Structure 1
Amino acid sequence: MLEIRNLYVNYGNVEALHGINITVNKGEIVTILGANGAGKSTTLNSICGLVRAVKGEILFKGEPLHTRPAHEIVKLGIAQSPEGRRVFSTLTVKENMMLGAFTIEDKALIKQNEEWIYSLFPRLEERRSQLAGTLSGGEQQMLAIGRALMANPRILLLDEPSLGLAPILVKSIFDTVRTINKHGVTVVLVEQNARAALKLANRGYVMEVGSVVMEDDAAALLRNPEIQNAYLGGGH
């Protein structure tokens, strides 16, 4: 469904991605692991059209994405819940959600998506008319995911959804991601919490300084001694 081929991305004069290859099949949850600065967020941002490829291709169902502007990519069916949540703090929960639906003209579909998201995150429905800036971190994370889902995506890109959240909330958010996936949304997950991510995902890629250094089934990565030492050791 999504294919990244030999992708190179620069930030200024610095090469941030060095020819990475990643494949995501329909219906999968694929996780991208790696330390800070490995290029995980850059990878998601390049899929969304927020950073441009210097070389290589990104294909969605065979169609090139790397040549298109970001708003067209959302229309095609790819939405991101960004790192740090980036909710609009002076707007209400409902207004934030509606901004996620800016590419959709079908009012009935918008309503249907909104109701589905409130069923996934009942807390958001309770706080519909509250300003997003007054929500807790966990609620803001729910809102960031809900806002992305309002675009009716075929692929949901999640960038560090567990960052700064209490363990009980992390579990709840990951359970919801599983439910979203069962509804037919393919998920690409960038996550510091490697253990939780691998338990959720079908497959994983490990990145180090802009390169993919390993790819495997999630279960195999969980058992891999190198991964255990680097990412799962000592309860990190």
Structure 2
Amino acid sequence: MAFLELADLRVKYGNIEVIHGINVRVEEGDIIAILGANGAGKSTTLLTISGLVKPSGGSISFRDAPIHRFPAHTIVKLGIAQVPEGRRVFGTLTVRENLNLGSFVSKDKQAISKTLAWIYELFPILSERREQLAGTLSGGEQQMLAIGRALMSRPKILLLDEPSLGLAPLLVMTILQTLREINRSGVTIVLVEQNARAALKLAHRGYVLELGNVVIEDDSAALIANAEVQAAYLGGGIA
């Protein structure tokens, strides 16, 4: 069994099926990129892994546990955390209060303190602004906070939905470099990202979704070299 496996996964919204029996394997230590146009089913796939959307068929296994049957809070406790699209920080709470919310699965104060110190090391600006209201942060700082909040649960798998959305290119590079560092610390990453070139340069493997189906899967280098992927997602050429 893979570390995380989606087998013949199907998802419906009402009577409309939006994910049509996809198969995805994630090995421990991987960075996996999920690519596709708007409406391809990328975000729905992450939400279903997180337990926020229930599948209509198929299964999701994490370390052999059938997590598609579990509620979202149990999935977090097992070690899967999501950074949602649009950041969704609590604007009327401080940076520190937002981070504290991410640690709800742990009662070990020493471990929480250690994790918080690690997050401040990853994102020094969050340490500088720990008493600042999250709603007053820049978009990039809010994205760092959203990632930090998810890391407070010490996940084994981190799911990220469009972390570069709306950010300046230089800041996107900083965020992606930090994700590589997080991965090197032992966190497996599943990344949904419109910036296909940046995602594939970061990831080990990738899946391309079209209208709820996996149409291409391969390692990142092969996807970057794939003429179809180049034409559809990489502007027709290789950087």
Q: Distance in 2 between matches of 1:111 and 1:31?
A: 31
CA contact (8 A) 2:230 2:236 kept: no
Q: What is the Cα deviation at residue 12 of structure 1? A: 1.4
* Residue among 196, 203, 215 paired with 2:217: 215
The equivalent of 1:206 in structure 2 is 208
Instruction: Figure out how many residues of one structure are paired with residues of the other and give that number.
Output: 235
Supply the distance in 1 between the matched residues of 2:186 and 2:138 (Cα, whole angstroms): 29
The corresponding residue for 1:47 is: 49
Aligned residue among 56, 70, 73 for 1:71: 73
Q: Residue in 1 aligned with 2:27? A: 25
Alignment of structure 1 residues 111-190 onto 2, 5 Å: 111-190=113-192
TM-score under structure 1 length normalisation:
0.99
Q: Tell me what 2:196 maps to.
A: 194
CA distances 1:84-131 after superposition (whole Å, capped 9, x unpaired)? 000001000000001011111111111111000000000000010000
The secondary structure found in structure 1 opposite 2:130 is coil
Hey, what's the Cα distance between the residues in 1 that align with 2:111 and 2:43? 30
Provide the C-alpha distance between the structure 2 equivalents of 1:101 and 1:13, rounded to a whole number of angstroms. 37
Q: Give me the TM-score of the superposition, normalised by structure 2.
A: 0.97
Q: d(CA) in 2 for partners of 1:113 and 1:20?
A: 35
Structure 1 runs of 4+ off > 6 angstroms?
none
Determine the C-alpha separation between the residues in 2 that align with 1:122 and 1:14. 45
Q: Separation in 2 of the partners of 1:16 and 1:228?
A: 25
How far is 1:234 from its partner?
Answer: 5.9
Amino acid at match of 1:19: G
Where structure 1 has 5 or more consecutive residues not aligned to the other structure, the ranges are none
- What is the distance in 2 between the residues matched to 1:32 and 1:9? 17
Per the TM alignment, residue 13 of structure 1 is displaced from its structure 2 partner at its CA by 1.6
Deviations 1:8-66 (A, max 9, x none): 00111211100010000000100000000100000000000000011100000111100
CA distance in 2, matches of 1:47, 1:112: 27
Aligned to 1:4: 6
Letter in 2 for 1:64: P
Provide the C-alpha distance between the structure 1 equivalents of 2:39 and 2:112, rounded to a whole number of angstroms. Answer: 36
